[in-house]
Amino acid sequence: MLTSKIANELLLPQVLTAALELLINKALLLNINKGLSLQTVSEKTLTLELAELAFPLSFTVSSQAKVMVSSLTERSDCTISTSVSTLKKLKEEQQITQLIKQGELDVIGDVKIAQQFAAIAQSLEIDWQSELAKHIGDVPTHKILQFGNKVTKSLGKHSTLLQADVGEYIVHEKRLVASSGQVKRFNQQVADVSNKVDKINSRINTLFSQLSSKK
């Protein structure tokens, strides 16, 4: 976790909030879903306190329908304290109560605000193809997307194969493979046997030499 002092020295909260603000407002500008409205959360603030970050992230929707991101905590309507990994689990609403009970999630304020923010984020629709075509033209866009689809399909195929191999290894092969401790013990036993053989060999040689001297 980044310490608060280092983060502040490097103005990291300000760098991150500025980047997020730019990204979010750009995404809102490119949104093609006409049903999306920020009216429900106008002048409301959602604050995220992530365990991985030394500073909070506050998202405020202005009356001009712009999203402002800051590290201010004074004006939050809903504050969610959690971690990035738990944040991913929040997609499944039925898990929320369990996560709160487990102490992985803490919500202060009006939870409806958080749900409204989440609904807006999920209803964002961006036509990347049209946006790209505006800059580089239709044909290059088509070719790039065709290539992208091929790569995605290929990656998907390899990923499925990899998942199957890993599954096979975990379920079946891992049980049969000797652990490093077992290998170590086996090597020790082999060394012991080898020592014993050497001793017996030396003993036999001694006995042979005694026998030959008696003759």
Partner 1 sequence: MSSSDQNSQANDSSVNQQAPVDTSNNSTTHFGYKTIEKDDKISMVAGVFHSVAKQYDVMNDLMSFGIHRLWKRFTIDASGVRPGNKVLDLAGGTGDLTAKFSQLVGRDGKVVLADINSSMLNVGRDKLRDKGLVQNIEYVQANAEYLPFEENTFDIVTIAFGLRNVTDKDKALRSIYSVLKPGGRLLVLEFSKPEHELLNKAYDFYSFNILPKMGELVAKDGDSYQYLAESIRMHPDQETLKGMMENAGFEQTTFKNLTGGVVALHKGYKF
x-marked contacts with partner 1 along 155-174 as a string, rule CB under 8 A: --------------------
For position 11 contacting partner 1 by CB under 8 A, the verdict is yes
| Contact present, 43 and 63 (Cβ < 8 Å) | yes
| Contact present, 41 and 74 (Cβ < 8 Å) | no
x-marked contacts with partner 1 along 67-106 as a string, rule CB under 8 A: -x-xxx-xx-------------------------------
Which residues fall within 8 angstroms of residue 44, CB to CB, at 6 or more apart?
60, 61, 77, 78, 113, 116
Q: Which is nearer to partner 1, 8 or 115 (CB)?
A: 8
Which residues fall within 8 angstroms of residue 20, CB to CB, at 6 or more apart?
57, 69
Which of the residues 33 through 72 are near partner 1 (CB under 8 A)? 43, 60, 62-64, 66, 68, 70-72
For position 19 contacting partner 1 by CB under 8 A, the verdict is no
For position 28 contacting partner 1 by CB under 8 A, the verdict is no
Q: Which is nearer to partner 1, 5 or 91 (CB)?
A: 5
Question: How many chain residues bind partner 1 (CB under 8 A)?
Answer: 19
Q: Which is nearer to partner 1, 72 or 87 (CB)?
A: 72
Q: Tell me the β-bridge partners of 58.
A: 47, 70
Q: Which is nearer to partner 1, 77 or 82 (CB)?
A: 77
* Alpha helix ranges (H) inside the chain: 4-9, 12-30, 84-89, 96-101, 111-123, 128-136, 138-168, 174-176, 180-214
Q: Which residue, 39, 60, 109, is CA-closest to 81?
A: 109
Closest distance to partner 1 from the beta carbon of 74 (Å) = 5
Residues that bind partner 1 (CB under 8 A): 8, 11, 13-15, 17-18, 43, 60, 62-64, 66, 68, 70-72, 74-75
